[in-house]
C-alpha cells in the first residue's frame, strides 16, 4: 500500500524536487531537472523502483516534522525507547551538480539509525552498477552517475541490489549523507560541505521570505504557498511547473493520471498576480519573460503547455513497468494535451502581459507585436469549438469560459490602445470583436430560465470556471446573471462542502471513465466570488475550511476527496497554492495594509 499523498513533504533546489514521506523515505526524485527520468520512483510503484529511507532502525513514521522557519529545509524527528533523533533534509541551490543532503543528529539517548538506498534510473527500470571509490559509493548506468558519501564515514554494505548503512548516534552527534548526480561521462563534481550548505540554504530562504509584503491573517499559510511556488520554479528559465510529479491519480485506481512536470499558460495571469501582490517582482518578471520566449513564433502554433525552457514537443507515452500509485495505471510520461486547441490561453497570455505592464514590470519589445498577432488569430478562430480550460479529451465544444477569455483578449487590447495611443493598432477593430463576443456569450452561453451561464453553448451543465466571470471584468459582480451563476454552480457542483470542476457525469464531457475528487482551486474561486458579491462571512468560512485541508507541512495537491479525507492528484500543485495566495490577499490584503 502506498503512503497517502498528504504524507509527503517537498524539498528542492529550484531545478528539481524530491518527495519525502513521514517515515523518512525519499520516494520521488527526477534528476537533473523536474522533467528528467526519476531515479527514485517508489511513489508510482514500490520500493524496488527506487527509494532512500533514513530513520531509526525498526521505526515507522516520524513523531513530528516541520520546515525550519520560512524555508524548504525539512526536520523530521523520531522519539524511540532508546532516545530521539532528527533527520534534516534539503537540496542546496546548485552550483553545477544537484545534491541531496540528509543530516542525522542525535537529540537524546543513543539511537541506531539505518539508511536504505535503492537507486533505480529511468523511472525505476534500470539497476545501476555500484562500486566503492575513495570512501564513496558510486552508481553508474548509461548517462547517469550518482555519488554517495557520509561524513563521518559509517559502515556501509551492499545487498540485494541495495546499499545499506547502519550506525548509532548519541546526543549531539551528527552524521551527514550527501548524494550527488552528474552525467556519467563527466568527472565527479566538487564535494560540498553539508553543514555549510545547510547554513547557506537557510540564509538564502530566509532572505527570500523576508521580501514578502503580506503580513496579514494566515501569513504562515500564504508564505508556505509562496515558498512552494518558488520551489516549483525552474531557475535557469523562470518557468513554473504545475507540479513536480506525474500520474498521481485524480481517482484511486482510476486512469485520470497525467504528467504535470511542465509549464501551463493557463496559470500565467493568476501566478503573476500572486507574485506581484506579494512583492516578488523578480520572480514575476522571470515568469513573464519565460512566457514571451515560449510563445514566440506563429500565433497558430501557440500551445497550452511547454517544457521548462519552452520546449514544444512533449510526446505522451506510458511506462508499463510501474504499477501506478495504489494501482492507478497507467503511468504517463509527457502530455498530449500539448496538441489541443484551447482558445482561453490566448486571453490568458494577453491578460498576463497587460497585468505585467500595469504593475510596472519592464516592458519587453516583442510584447505588443505578439499580442497583435494573437488577436488576429483569435479574430479568425474564436467561433471554433475547443478543448477548454480542463483539456477534455472528448469532442470539442463551445466552452463559455473559452469565449469569455477571447473577450478578455480583445478588452485588454482596447484598454492598452486607449491608454497608450502611440501603440500600433486599431482600437475600433478590437472593440467590435469584444462587443460581438460579449453579445454571443450572453445569448448562447446563458440559460435565462435558470439564471446561470452554462459550461458550453446549448448545454445544461455547469462549470466551476464560470466563477471567474466577474474576476475577468466580463460582467460586474452585482450583475444578477453573475449572482445567479455563482448560486447555481454552488448548488450543482458542491460535494461535501467543496467544488467539483464540472458535473459528476464526466465521461460524456471529457471522454474518460471514472470520477475525480473536488478541485481545490475551484473552491478558492468560489471564495473569491462570494467575497466579490458581498458574502464575505461565507467566503471566510470556506477559506478557513480550505486552509485546514493542507497537510501537516502546509502542502496541497490538485484535488481532495472529502469522503475519505485524502488528497488526490499531482502534488504539490501550483494551481492550488496560487489559489490560496490570491484568495488570502483578496480577503485580507486591505486589512493587512491598515
Residues 212-251: tens digit of each pLDDT = 999 999 999 999 999 999 999 999 999 999 999 999 999 9
pLDDT given for residue 2 in this prediction:
76
* Cα distances (Å, whole numbers) of residue 172 to 25, 107, 293: 23, 6, 51
Phi-psi region of 69 (alpha: psi -120 to 50; beta: other; left: phi over 0): left
Q: What is the pLDDT confidence band of residue 593, given thresholds at 50, 70 and 90?
A: very low
pLDDT given for residue 1 in this prediction:
59
In this structure, are strands 17-20 and 25-30 parallel, antiparallel, or unpaired?
A: antiparallel
pLDDT given for residue 266 in this prediction:
85
Q: Average pLDDT in the 74-100 region?
A: 96
Ramachandran angles phi, psi of 577, nearest 5°: -75, -30
Ramachandran angles phi, psi of 474, nearest 5°: -60, -40
Contacts of 405 (CB under 8 A, 6+ apart): 343, 344, 345, 346, 347, 348, 351, 472
Contacts of 489 (CB under 8 A, 6+ apart): 452, 462, 463, 464, 466, 467, 499, 526
Tally the C-alpha atoms within 13 A of residue 256's C-alpha that lie toward its C-beta.
Answer: 22
pLDDT given for residue 510 in this prediction:
66
Q: Average pLDDT in the 306-314 region?
A: 95
**Residues of the chain above pLDDT 90, percent:** 83
**Do 546 and 560 meet the contact criterion of CB atoms below 8 Å apart?**
no
pLDDT given for residue 181 in this prediction:
97
**For the segment 479-497, what is each residue's pLDDT rounded down to a tens digit?**
999 999 999 999 999 999 9
Residue 301 has pLDDT above 90, yes or no: no
More confident: 514 or 197: 197
**Do 121 and 141 meet the contact criterion of CB atoms below 8 Å apart?**
yes
Residue 366 has pLDDT above 80, yes or no: no
**Do 11 and 89 meet the contact criterion of CB atoms below 8 Å apart?**
yes
Measured from the Cβ of residue 74, the count of other Cβ atoms closer than 10 Å reads: 20
Global pTM value: 0.96
Segment among 104-118, 287-301, 316-330, 455-469 with least mean pLDDT: 287-301
**For the segment 520-529, what is each residue's pLDDT rounded down to a tens digit?**
999 999 999 9
3-state secondary structure 137-148: EEEEECCEEEEE
Residues paired with residue 447 on neighbouring β-strands, in sequence order: 452
For residues 487 and 452, give the distance between their C-alpha atoms in angstroms, rounded to a whole number.
Answer: 8
C-alpha cell at 577: 497554492
Residue 509 has pLDDT above 70, yes or no: no
Residue 85 has pLDDT above 70, yes or no: yes
DSSP 8-state code for residue 240? E
pLDDT given for residue 504 in this prediction:
58
For residues 378 and 343, give the distance between their C-alpha atoms in angstroms, rounded to a whole number.
Answer: 8
Amino acid at each position: 500500500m502506498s503512503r497517502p499523498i498528504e504524507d509527503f513533504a517537498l524539498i528542492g533546489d529550484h531545478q528539481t524536487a524530491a518527495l519525502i514521506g513521514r517515515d523518512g523515505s525519499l520516494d520521488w526524485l527526477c534528476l537533473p531537472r523536474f522533467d528528467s527520468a526519476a531515479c527514485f520512483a517508489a511513489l508510482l510503484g514500490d520500493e524496488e523502483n527506487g527509494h532512500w529511507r533514513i530513520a531509526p532502525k525498526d521505526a515507522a513514521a516520524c513523531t513530528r516534522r516541520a520546515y525550519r522557519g520560512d524555508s524548504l529545509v525539512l526536520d523530521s524527528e523520531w522519539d524511540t525507547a532508546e532516545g530521539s533523533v532528527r533527520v534534516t533534509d534539503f537540496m542546496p541551490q546548485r552550483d553545477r551538480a544537484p545534491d541531496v543532503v540528509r543530516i542525522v543528529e542525535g537529540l537524546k539517548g543513543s539511537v541506531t539509525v539505518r539508511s536504505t538506498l535503492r537507486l533505480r534510473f529511468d523511472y525505476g527500470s534500470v539497476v545501476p552498477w555500484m562500486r566503492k571509490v575513495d570512501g564513496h559509493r558510486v552508481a553508474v548506468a548509461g548517462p547517469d552517475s550518482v555519488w554517495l558519501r557520509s561524513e563521518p564515514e559509517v559502515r556501509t554494505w551492499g545487498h540485494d541490489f541495495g546499499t545499506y548503512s547502519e550506525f548509532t548516534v548519541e546526543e549531539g552527534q551528527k552524521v551527514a549523507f550527501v548524494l550527488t548526480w552528474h552525467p556519467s561521462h563527466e568527472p565527479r563534481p566538487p564535494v560540498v560541505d553539508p553543514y555549510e550548505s545547510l547554513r547557506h540554504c537557510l540564509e538564502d530562504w530566509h532572505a527570500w521570505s523576508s521580501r514578502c509584503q503580506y503580513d496579514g491573517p494566515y501569513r504562515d499559510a500564504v508564505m508556505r504557498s509562496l515558498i512552494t511556488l518558488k520551489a516549483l520554479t525552474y531557475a535557469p528559465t523562470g518557468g513554473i511547473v504545475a507540479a513536480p510529479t506525474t500520474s498521481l491519480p485524480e481517482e484511486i485506481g482510476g486512469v485520470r493520471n497525467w504528467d504535470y512536470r511542465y509549464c501551463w499558460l493557463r496559470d500565467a495571469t493568476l501566478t503573476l498576480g500572486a507574485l506581484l501582490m506579494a512583492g516578488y517582482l523578480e520572480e514575476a518578471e522571470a515568469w513573464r519573460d519565460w512566457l514571451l520566449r515560449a510563445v514566440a513564433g506563429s500565433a497558430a502554433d501557440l500551445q497550452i503547455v511547454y517544457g521548462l525552457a519552452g520546449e514544444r514537443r512533449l510526446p505522451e507515452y506510458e511506462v508499463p513497468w510501474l504499477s501506478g500509485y495504489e494501482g492507478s495505471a497507467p503511468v504517463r510520461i509527457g502530455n498530449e494535451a500539448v496538441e489541443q486547441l484551447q482558445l482561453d490561453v490566448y486571453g490568458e497570455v494577453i491578460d498576463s502581459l497587460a497585468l505585467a505592464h500595469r504593475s510596472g514590470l519592464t516592458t519587453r519589445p516583442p510584447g505588443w507585436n505578439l499580442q497583435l498577432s494573437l488577436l488576429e488569430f483569435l479574430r479568425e478562430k474564436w467561433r471554433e469549438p475547443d478543448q477548454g480550460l480542463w483539456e477534455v479529451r472528448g469532442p470539442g465544444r463551445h466552452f463559455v469560459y473559452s469565449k469569455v477569455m477571447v473577450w478578455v483578449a480583445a478588452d485588454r487590447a482596447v484598454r492598452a490602445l486607449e491608454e497608450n495611443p502611440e501603440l500600433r493598432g486599431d482600437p475600433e477593430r478590437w472593440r467590435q470583436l469584444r462587443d460581438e463576443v460579449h453579445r454571443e456569450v450572453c445569448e448562447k452561453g446563458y440559460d435565462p430560465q435558470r439564471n446561470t451561464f452554462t459550461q458550453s453553448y446549448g448545454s445544461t451543465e455547469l462549470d466551476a470556471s464560470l466563477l471567474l466571470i466577474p474576476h475577468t471584468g466580463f460582467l460586474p459582480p452585482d450583475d444578477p446573471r453573475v449572482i445567479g451563476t455563482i448560486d447555481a454552480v454552488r448548488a450543482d457542483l458542491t460535494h461535501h462542502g467543496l467544488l467539483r470542476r464540472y458535473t459528476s457525469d464526466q465521461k460524456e464531457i471529457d471522454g474518460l471513465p471514472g470520477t475525480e475528487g473536488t478541485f481545490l482551486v475551484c473552491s478558492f474561486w468560489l471564495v473569491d466570488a462570494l467575497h466579490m458579491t458581498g458574502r464575505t462571512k461565507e467566503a471566510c468560512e470556506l477559506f478557513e475550511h480550505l486552509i485546514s485541508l493542507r497537510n501537516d507541512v502546509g502542502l496541497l495537491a490538485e484535488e481532495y476527496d472529502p469522503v475519505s479525507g485524502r488528497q488526490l492528484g499531482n502534488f504539490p500543485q501550483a494551481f492550488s497554492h496560487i489559489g490560496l495566495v490570491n484568495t488570502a490577499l483578496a480577503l485580507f490584503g486591505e486589512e493587512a495594509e491598515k
